[in-house]
Amino acid sequence: MAPAEAIPPANTTTTTPFTGAAASGAFTTTPTAIDPYTYQVGFGNHFASEALTGALPIGYNTPQRYAYNLISEQLNVFTPTNGNVEFTLQDLGLKTITGHGNSMAKEGLAVYIYLANKLIEKRAFCNNNGDILILPQEGRLDIQTEFGKLMVLPGELVVIQAGIKFSVRMPDGAGRGYIQEVFRAHYELPKLGPVGSNGMAQPRDFKTPVASFKVDQSEWTVVVKLVGKLFTYNQGHTPFNVVAWHGNYTPYNDPSIYCQVACNTFRPPYYHRNVCTEIMGMVCGKWALSGSLEPGGLTYEPSYMPHGEGQELWKQATSVELVPQRVGEGSMAFMMHISAHVSLTKYALKRCANLQKMQVVGRIEPPLYSWEKISCAVGRHDYYNVKPQNGE
């Protein structure tokens, strides 16, 4: 950061020292053609936002009388679903792939794929089981929350914490992607280690919405998910009527910036075993290594299961001339490292049409599975609101 005296005055030749304060408020992002919203930046910050000037009281939370005759409300946080349930939100097809634990004990998580193609008007959803992380693979998500609006693009992620109401629009007509739901803790940033302050993604890359509200006295339906069950109630106004708020329990999205630089090294993923379970998916592009993983697909490797590239690629990688190259350009994949063992659902193992079982030669091991491209049928009468049975 340059000191103030090192900043030359713009469009002037005067030698008078440049001093003063020009900041009018906290930094916010600039809207773009594909994302029309403004955000505050940071991760885990204590933010404050008001859609009407003076709506947020200074110095206390509950004055006797609020400006604009507003009513105060507080959201206290303890966190934590049953990974075998499905819900419908704007005709959202949700299929459970894997998970462990349960929401009653506030332990574990679940991984889903989703497909959305139609908005159900005047309906909001609230997940009281835990926080959800959504990774769009196709189609933007225009999300309205109680704290404001977020536009989430394929290749980005969004986290919506437990107890927060939201609704989703599909500005591109339809979309699909991945969801991870955690029942206990909240998401945290990993340490950057030796990369330190030069990491590609920093806390300031995370975006939190600014206050946005509607005056809408029509009837709304709110769907609440609790301990693996769905409950609904109706109310005579929109749930998105928060005029001002402050705190650090807010939804956010992230551009998922990642880059790796290496020299004089074996470049494909070496053969390895992990203490964690691996769930990997493709957002876009082509998988550069062996296998047939496509955008929309997933792979699964159990804890301690040996996996990696085959012998042919190993021979090639150990003999090729090491020259500068860009690997995976135009592609994006993600990896979920899950500390516990997980179970695959019957849908993932039996009803998905694109399941591939990988062969392991010369040893008896738990199976590896790859879903080349997980697809969901659209428009079938029995597709939505299916009640799973026996762990499906």
Pairing verdict, β 107-116 and 141-145: unpaired
Q: State yes or no: 272 annotated in a binding site.
A: yes
CA distance 133 to 112: 10
Look at residue 219 and give its three-state secondary structure: coil
Contact between 269 and 306 (Cβ < 8 Å)? no
Choose among 53, 73, 52: nearest CA to 61. 73
Adjacent-strand bridge partners of 16: none
The SS3 assignment for 318 reads helix
Residue 186 annotated in ligand binding: no
Residue 76 makes CB contacts below 8 A (sequence gap 6+) with none
CB 127 within 8 A of CB 225: yes
Residue 190 contacts by C-beta under 8 Å, 6 or more apart in sequence? Answer: none
Residue that is written with structure tokens 């950057």 in the block: 192
Q: Give the 3-state secondary structure of residue 364.
A: coil
**Would you state the torsion angle of the CA atoms of residues 233, 237, 238, 243, taken in this order, to the nearest 10 degrees?**
-130
Which among 272, 270, 286, 268 is positioned nearest to 322, based on CA atoms? 268
- Rounded alpha-carbon distances, angstroms, from residue 141 to 151, 224, 255: 6, 20, 14
Q: Is 309 annotated as a binding residue?
A: no
- Asked if residue 220 belongs to a known ligand binding site, the reply is no
**Binding-site residue positions for homogentisate:** 287, 307
Task: Write out the binding residues.
Answer: 272, 278, 287, 307
**Binding site for Fe cation: residue ranges?**
272, 278, 307
